[in-house]
Chain A
Amino acid sequence: GNSVTQMEGPVTLSEEAFLTINCTYTATGYPSLFWYVQYPGEGLQLLLKATKADDKGSNKGFEATYRKETTSFHLEKGSVQVSDSAVYFCALNTNTGNQFYFGTGTSLTVIP
């Protein structure tokens, strides 16, 4: 079946620290992989995506590389800011494209 497992939170970092949020997946076929972010009081916003193996998605200083050999799509940022405080969701979309499979979300708090 299809599923996503992501790192448990909450995560608390100091400003300018390095961030990694782990995400691994199981899927049939060739899924696309996504990171969504939810800021307080807002909806899930697409942060970045990768549609095939070895693709790197990037946006706002965040990066994630689609690793088929390790079935992973870890989210990284070199220097976090207070404004990055949010809940981050890893997700995959199957070949049929009809539904997303999400992880549980990882809450990130960045302190000054």
Chain B
Amino acid sequence: EPEVTQTPSHQVTQMGQEVILRCVPISNHLYFYWYRQILGQKVEFLVSFYNNEISEKSEIFDDQFSVERPDGSNFTLKIRSTKLEDSAMYFCASSVKRGSQETQYFGPGTRLLVL
């Protein structure tokens, strides 16, 4: 069964460094998403992406963050100048279509630790 994959599974970085989290969505999906979960808190929406542009973003997704689909398969989240509070689990998701009944398929997550 097709699945969303994410790399790396774990990332440790120093405060102020840039990190790139990578995702390979399911191949026939057109909508892509990033979420994060700070330890002990809710899974929070960051951004959705369709047709090579951001379609919606939350207030968390400020200028520190950017997303890109550099080729036909990868979907990346870049975090510039990381802060301690960026430590979280980051989930990528994809869906075939957009709509309230549409299921989003999630990857296993990347655990980011900023020291």
A, B in one complex = yes
- A contacts, CB < 8 Å to B: 4, 30-32, 34, 36, 41-46, 49, 51, 89, 91, 93-105
CB contacts (< 8 Å) of B44 on chain A: these are 102
Taking CB atoms, residues of chain A closer than 8 Å to B40 are 104
Q: Are B35 and A96 in contact (CB under 8 A)?
A: no
Residues of chain A with a CB closer than 8 A to B55's CB: 98
Residues of B within 8 A of A4 (CB): 42
Question: Is B48's CB under 8 angstroms from A43's CB?
Answer: no
Once the chains are docked, how many angstroms separate the CA of A51 from the CA of B100?
8
Q: Hey, which chain A residues are within 8 Å of B75, CB to CB?
A: none
Distance in angstroms between the alpha carbons of A96 and B102 in the assembled complex? 10
B residues apposed to A, CB below 8 Å: 3-4, 6, 33, 35, 37, 40-45, 48, 55-56, 58, 91, 93, 97-109
Interface residue SS majority, chain B: loop
* Residue contact A100 to B98, C-beta cutoff 8 Å: no
User: Which residues of chain B are within 8 angstroms of A51 by Cβ–Cβ distance?
Assistant: 100-101
User: Could you tell me the distance in whole angstroms from the C-beta of A71 to the nearest C-beta in chain B?
Assistant: 16
**Pair B103/A46 contact, Cβ less than 8 Å:** yes
Ordered nearest first, which 4 A-B pairs have the shortest CB separation? A102-B43, A44-B106, A99-B45, A43-B108
Pair A105/B107 contact, Cβ less than 8 Å? no
Residues of B within 8 A of A103 (CB): 42
CB contact under 8 A between A93 and B45, given known A42-B108, A43-B4, A99-B33: no
The residue from A45, A98, A105 contacting B106, defined by CB atoms under 8 A apart: A45
Shortest distance from the beta carbon of B31 to any chain A beta carbon, whole Å: 8
Contact A100 B108 (CB under 8 A): no
